[in-house]
Structure 1
Amino acid sequence: MTDLVGPYQLAQLIGRGGMGEVWLALDTRNDREVAIKLLARQALTDPELQERFRRECKLAGQIRHPHILPVWDFSVEGRPYIVMPFIEDGTDLATILNKGPIEPERAVNIVRQVASALDAAHRKGLRHRDVKPSNIMVEPDGDEEQVLLFDWGIAQPIDTSGASPVTRLDQLVGTPAYIAPERLGDKVTPDHRADVYSLAVVLFECLAGCKPFDGEDMAVLTAQVLRDPPPLPDHLPVALRDVVAKGLAKNPDDRWQSAAEMGAAARNALASPSTSPLPAPLLNLSPSHRPPSPGPASNGPRIAATGLAGMSLALLLLVLNVVDATTFWILLPLLALGGSLVALGVWGPRRPAHVRPDDPTINPGGFPPIGP
């Protein structure tokens, strides 16, 4: 590969992903360092990836916002590239989160700035479709942090015409852990609120140090549709946990209706006093005052997990092109219901209860004496 792309002299490879490469380069016309993203050589034979990259160049050039990494130049001729400022002291949020969760105040500050950037794009009728920590740059700015959203390579106009997006039946565009549930089906046309869901996943990850759903792609995609996210740590303000929970709602109508709305709610949640009830200590209670042992435990989670496995099988058959999309939507409920019924028949609705030896309900002391 020549080290000259257009007027840009490539100097050092900064990063590489499935879609392209990012290089530190010298702009020979203006004598300045830039970051240039170009389509990876192995992807040049893929027309879909080429089209996606060209769309990034055009869409990113339309947006001007303080929290969106600006586009200085781009070309869709020959080897496509997009030129952006080189942020020497910036760190992507994914690298920051590799060290664990961050303080709620910092997390909310980052998310509010990304929300502002998304709102600017949404007002232009564009959605990002790949909001995630590795696409968020955090740059020191005095006592504050400047946050920049970038990589619009799979951005897409909000579709109100019914036109097909640039994707394949067996290739879902985006990163599974951050994909909104409505993007996995065909009953709801995804809109800007899919980005709101992804931003809520980012906020969850900032606060918890992990994603709501993680693991193999197929398991994550299935969980996005069927499972509720795990609770955030109890030490976080209740109001902030509620903000994240609403952002992760499966139904877009139950979600925050704009990124800015979620950002403002997160900021207000930090000012709200925590109302988390503190559990009463049980160790100092005498046996007669301890609560009785819980009743039989439900087998609901086991049954649900088996139904989830059935749905995973349906998704796998779709990805492997064993079934088409129409058959998939028929198989999905059938396999889920079938798995749940099998589990119910094997385990029953409840497991036997575990009783403490000091439970006062074991020996309540007989009947009270009769008479004086």
Structure 2
Amino acid sequence: MRAERWQEIDRLFDAVLEREPAERASYLAAASAGDDELRREVESLLAAYERAGKFIEAPAMEMAAKAAAEGGDAFSALGREIGPYRVLSLLGAGGMGEVYLAEDTRLNRRVALKLLPAEFTHDAERIRRFEREARAASALNHPNIVTIYETGQSDGVYFIATELVEGQTLRDFMPHARARTKEALNIAAQIADALAAAHAAGIIHRDLKPENVMLRPDGYVKVLDFGLAKLTEPAFTHDVSHKWTETARTDTGAVMGTVAYMSPEQALGQDVDYRTDIFSLGVVFYEMTVGTHPFRGPTAAATFDALLNHEPPAPANSNPDVSPELAHIIGRALEKDRELRYQTASDLRAELKRWQRTLDSSPTVSTQIHARTGVVPRAALRAPVVTAGLALAGLFVVAVAVFVALRWLRAEEVAAPLRNLNFVQLTDHSGPEWFPSLSPDGKSIVYASGASGNWDLYLQRVGGKNPQNLTADSTADETQPAFSPDGERIAFRSEREGGGIFVMGATGESVKRLTDFGYHPAWSPDGREIAYATHNITDPSDRPLERSEIWIANHATSEKRQLTGDGVGDAAQPQWSPTGARIAYWSKRKGGQRDIWTIPATGGTPVPVT
């Protein structure tokens, strides 16, 4: 859609929202002046807006006051006893009701007591559904989920008594400090842990946002309001002239404050499953690490459009400390197609904890998460990016393997010492560049950069300053380039079409898929075969459950053969010897230590090198 057309839709949408609900249909019909496409686009936005069930014009306290005026008892709770709870003070108020500090007179403990507005309780079926979900949530025994002690009714007032959590909400925390990488990972991992436990019990949160996450002083994260979102689901309508029903009005709060954390399928009113919570966590994670919201626009229409149709800005654009690995995790959680998201909260939790461990084991790199590609990637497969320290380690690994191979071939020769070395910077993109591969003639270099918003491969003349984007026609992430021995082709890892090893001409032409899986492609010296690993292992401390194996693909025919298997142990990052007779690789055997091994290129018994 052209920018001018979208601006026209945006202006009309905002103008329609300024009218009373009963006037909107007639105003839209007149304003669209026979432009059916314009009318349909605005009606679509209005339908999504009404599905959100929120008013942008009314702040939470105003709507809570209205609920109090209609419901009666809510604002007269101070000093009262509601069931066994003595109300002590007001903790907060919002569209969902008021939360009070109260004392449980039976157990002499302090609790948080949430009182629901009376208009939430008019529908008996809703109350039954709410109580069923509240009971399920109260059965959850998890350190990252606030404990629900009791739900009940006293003198017509419905209440929920929960654990009193000391600390601040994530919303209160974020304006004061953008979370450091380790903090963001820790918070997100604990939220994912809570979601995994809830999902296992059949509960979908549906309203995960910073306001529903508490940070305790001792470092624990508590997720609030499980079981409440179902109560506030409005009955949606596509009729733009429809007046807000009592049910819809109860879902109060600013539209941008809730819709902005919905998954696309939830915002569109489609059926949702556990993956909607994963998207919401992705939004929260992005906001923690980048400092801005991934989809928030200047108007309601712009926010809907961004949520449904546009990718968020690359995290590294706003925060250079966001590593490619962290960007990949965020991006996969924010996939608009739920089939491409993390499929379970447990998967996301495992990934977050894996990179927490990486950071903890790498004290010299305090703000980097290592070893994977992806600024807002589109594929669900892991993509490899290493930090500078690990890249140097990888170069050392290759150097050791080549050195050993040369010693086998030329035992009588002694390498001359290196003298008069100096270092020259070749690239100056904003953000990091990864995986440099020097052409055989030494005149060009190909590398991966996220400067364009996703990871692309760039070709640059050594000493030049005008890099050429070889993969600009793809929105997927491309990394790990490797020049062929004749310099005519480049093998690389790509996330396009589900991911795998691809090959293209040295200037980006004639891209073809070689395999549908694999990382770290390495050319044989004769250029006929490419070795690659099934897993992206770049950190010595990484201990994936699945064993990585080395495969070899024929460049001309794409025929594949497995090189390592049972009895060989973990195998990653293959490199050919100069003669092509052997392949060096990184392996983990018993005891967990990673060492360098070599194996005949035709298969056989591996030999340890380190």
TM-score of the alignment, normalized to the shorter chain, above 0.5? yes
- CA distance, structure 2, for counterparts of residue 56 and residue 82 of structure 1: 12
1:49 CA displacement: 7.6
Residue 190 of structure 1 aligns with an amino acid whose one-letter code is V
Q: Given the alignment, which residue of 137, 145, 166 partners 1:60? A: 137
Q: Given the alignment, which residue of 177, 188, 197 partners 2:279? A: 197
Residue 244 of structure 1 aligns with an amino acid whose one-letter code is I
- CA distance, structure 1, for counterparts of residue 120 and residue 326 of structure 2: 42
1:267 CA displacement: 3.1
Equivalent position of 1:223 in the other structure: 306
- For structure 2, the 5+ residue unaligned runs are 1-75, 238-247, 252-256, 359-369, 372-384, 389-424, 430-462, 470-610
1:264 CA displacement: 1.9
Highest Rg: 1 or 2? Answer: 2
SS in 2 for 1:205: helix
Residue 309 of structure 2 aligns with an amino acid whose one-letter code is L
Distance 1:95 1:56, change over 3 A: farther
**Equivalent residues in 2 for 1:6-17, closer than 5 Å:** 6-17=83-94
The answer to whether structure 1 residue 33 and structure 2 residue 110 are counterparts is: yes
- CA distance, structure 1, for counterparts of residue 307 and residue 334 of structure 2: 9
Equivalent position of 1:82 in the other structure: 160
1:279 CA displacement: 7.9
- CA distance, structure 1, for counterparts of residue 335 and residue 95 of structure 2: 29
Identify the structure with bigger relative contact order (alpha carbons < 8 Å, sequence gap 6+). 1
Q: Given the alignment, which residue of 100, 106, 122 partners 2:183? A: 106
SS in 2 for 1:12: strand
Distance 1:239 1:4, change over 3 A: same
Aligned length: 277
Q: Given the alignment, which residue of 198, 207, 211 partners 2:293? A: 211
SS in 2 for 1:137: strand
Q: Is the 8 A contact 1:92 1:136 kept in 2?
A: yes
1:53 CA displacement: 5.2
SS in 2 for 1:178: coil
- CA distance, structure 1, for counterparts of residue 109 and residue 276 of structure 2: 37
Higher helix share: 1
Distance 1:40 1:97, change over 3 A: same
**Equivalent residues in 2 for 1:226-305, closer than 5 Å:** 226-233=309-316, 234-269=320-355, 271=358, 272-273=370-371, 275=386, 280-281=427-428, 290-291=465-466
- CA distance, structure 1, for counterparts of residue 338 and residue 150 of structure 2: 36
Q: Given the alignment, which residue of 15, 24, 27 partners 2:101? A: 24
Equivalent position of 1:329 in the other structure: none
1:183 CA displacement: 1.7
1:103 CA displacement: 0.7
The normalised TM-score by structure 1 is: 0.66
Equivalent position of 1:167 in the other structure: 234
- CA distance, structure 1, for counterparts of residue 302 and residue 93 of structure 2: 26
- CA distance, structure 2, for counterparts of residue 140 and residue 200 of structure 1: 24
- CA distance, structure 1, for counterparts of residue 336 and residue 468 of structure 2: 35
- CA distance, structure 2, for counterparts of residue 207 and residue 279 of structure 1: 29
Q: Is the 8 A contact 2:169 2:211 kept in 1?
A: yes
Q: Can you list the C-alpha shifts for 1:6-61, whole angstroms capped at 9, x where unaligned?
A: 11111111111111111001111222211101113565667798667545533322
Higher strand share: 2
- CA distance, structure 2, for counterparts of residue 201 and residue 190 of structure 1: 17
Equivalent position of 2:582 in the other structure: none
1:152 CA displacement: 2.1
Equivalent position of 1:132 in the other structure: 209
Q: Is the 8 A contact 1:56 1:151 kept in 2?
A: no
Q: Is the 8 A contact 2:110 2:164 kept in 1?
A: yes
Cα RMSD after superposing both structures: 3.2
Distance 1:228 1:47, change over 3 A: farther
- CA distance, structure 1, for counterparts of residue 278 and residue 92 of structure 2: 27
- For structure 1, the 5+ residue unaligned runs are 158-164, 283-287, 295-372
Equivalent position of 1:150 in the other structure: 224
- CA distance, structure 2, for counterparts of residue 134 and residue 247 of structure 1: 20
Paired-residue identity, %: 32
Residue 205 of structure 1 aligns with an amino acid whose one-letter code is E
- CA distance, structure 1, for counterparts of residue 126 and residue 326 of structure 2: 38
SS in 1 for 2:294: coil
Equivalent position of 1:326 in the other structure: none
- CA distance, structure 1, for counterparts of residue 113 and residue 164 of structure 2: 8
Residue 466 of structure 2 aligns with an amino acid whose one-letter code is P
1:169 CA displacement: 0.8
- CA distance, structure 1, for counterparts of residue 283 and residue 350 of structure 2: 16
1:156 CA displacement: 4.6
1:205 CA displacement: 0.8
Q: Is the 8 A contact 1:214 1:220 kept in 2?
A: yes
Q: Can you list the C-alpha shifts for 1:100-119, whole angstroms capped at 9, x where unaligned?
A: 31111111111111111111
